[in-house]
Amino acid sequence: MKKMRKYSTDYTNKLSDKDKDTNSIIDVSQEKQLDQENQPLTINFHDLLSISSETFSCHEDLIGSVREIVLRHKYAITIKRSTANRYVIIGCDRGGKYRRAHIPIEQRKKITSSRLINCPFEVWGKKKVDGFWKVEVKNLQHNHEPSSDMSGHPSCRHFSKKEIQHIREMSKAGILPRQILASLRQGNLNLQAISRTIYNAKAKIRKENLMGRTAIQALFDEFAETGFVYDIEHDDKEIIGVSSFNTSFYSCFVAMQKEEESDYIWALERFKKLLGVGKNPSVIVTDSELALMNAIEIVFPSTTNLLCVWHIEKNILFKCKKYFEEKEAWDTFILSWTNLIKYTDEITFLEGWKLLEVDQKE
């Protein structure tokens, strides 16, 4: 494998006396990144060129073959763009640029470095008139060295369909995630998955199995389908009211001129009067409206005020997604968050929270 590359490490003359302080480290790092973007590293992918004459029945097979070849050279790929049944553009997972590179580092809310260094490597897959797919090589150059540890690339931690089925079967048998990972590594010595990848796969499988149902609904359906005889005991008076549209009904409406604490206190006092003496609600769910939350504490001091999960996730989507450079990284984060809020005890939640923090620091 031939490599041609020139490195420029002498940045001393590029820095003024004013810049020679602790902040100059950032400038040098940025210059190195720019230097990387402009210095191509040519790799002889003879095996990749060889498959350009082959045909594939579907684009999944084409992507799989390209990924397998590139992985042997210690690189990783990602799908840059695609159109169903027409073409797919495959690039290095370090291709592209950080979207907010124009924002000064000291002004960023989350100080982090980007994996993206505008790597030019690119391969196309196109569907021909006969229905088969073919590889078209556009650029075989990289502007960075091969990776020493491929587990650092999210795109390398994917499971095959066979491995997903294996995870599904072992999870159903109650086998622990670390044991599942050990079993998969025995069957695939090149597996780059980590423990978090197993947890995410299990959560995705669980979500697919529920098919939009709650866990208790799925349990009752399982009882009915497998012929179990079961009975449900519940208090008819201690359930939330449901309308004919299968939604919760409205207790009252109120028109307020302003949304200040005094206005909320007045509205809640009117509502309290409608409920009757000694009939305070056990729980009130709201969004993060401080004026309303303060009013609840005054009018209903014994009532628990919970924050609406839907509003929390909306805020996360609005305030956090912009800091994720790749859709795959965002999907992994939001899946971890969804699993976290399902924990029913504080100890498990705190353990999950620490694990989430570690994942994001990496």
Report the pLDDT value the prediction gives residue 85, as an integer from 0 to 100: 79
Report the pLDDT value the prediction gives residue 295, as an integer from 0 to 100: 93
184 is a domain residue: yes
Q: What's the total number of domains in the chain?
A: 3
Q: Are residues 86 and 129 in the same domain?
A: yes
Q: What is the pLDDT of residues 115-129, one digit of tens each?
A: 777 888 888 888 888
Q: Are residues 144 and 166 in the same domain?
A: no
List beta partners, residue 231: none
Residues 316, 320, 324, 329: is their CA dihedral positive or negative? Answer: negative
Report the pLDDT value the prediction gives residue 99, as an integer from 0 to 100: 64
**Adjacency order of strands within the sheet including 77-83:** 77-83, 87-92, 122-127, 133-139
347 is a domain residue: yes
Report the pLDDT value the prediction gives residue 33, as an integer from 0 to 100: 47
45 is a domain residue: yes
Q: Are residues 100 and 185 in the same domain?
A: no
Task: Identify the three-state secondary structure at position 90.
Answer: strand
Q: Are residues 109 and 63 in the same domain?
A: yes
Q: What is the pLDDT of residues 118-165, one digit of tens each?
A: 888 888 888 888 888 888 888 888 888 777 766 667 666 777 788 888
Report the pLDDT value the prediction gives residue 111, as an integer from 0 to 100: 52
Task: Identify the three-state secondary structure at position 3.
Answer: coil
Continuous H helices in 173-260: 177-187, 195-210, 215-225
41 is a domain residue: yes
Report the pLDDT value the prediction gives residue 39, as an integer from 0 to 100: 54
Report the pLDDT value the prediction gives residue 177, as an integer from 0 to 100: 87
The domain of 185 spans 161-204
Q: Are residues 61 and 139 in the same domain?
A: yes
Q: Are residues 61 and 173 in the same domain?
A: no
120 is a domain residue: yes
236 is a domain residue: no
d(CA 150, CA 73): 10
226 is a domain residue: no
271 is a domain residue: no
Task: List Cβ neighbours of 276 (8 Å cut-off, separation of 6 or more).
Answer: none
Q: Are residues 42 and 125 in the same domain?
A: yes
Measured at the CA of 349, the angle between CA 219 and CA 283, to 5 degrees, comes to 70
d(CA 186, CA 30): 41
Q: Which residue has the tokens 């350009």?
A: 52
Q: Are residues 106 and 193 in the same domain?
A: no
Among 73, 63, 66, residue whose Cα is nearest residue 3: 73
Q: Are residues 107 and 176 in the same domain?
A: no
Q: Which residues of the chain have pLDDT under 70?
A: 1-47, 98-114, 149-152, 154-156, 234-242, 244, 246, 361-362
User: Has this prediction a pTM greater than 0.75?
Assistant: no
Among 24, 3, 5, 4, residue whose Cα is nearest residue 14: 24
Report the pLDDT value the prediction gives residue 37, as an integer from 0 to 100: 46
Q: Are residues 143 and 167 in the same domain?
A: no
Q: Are residues 125 and 78 in the same domain?
A: yes
Q: Are residues 94 and 188 in the same domain?
A: no
Token pair of 165 as six digits: 């089925």
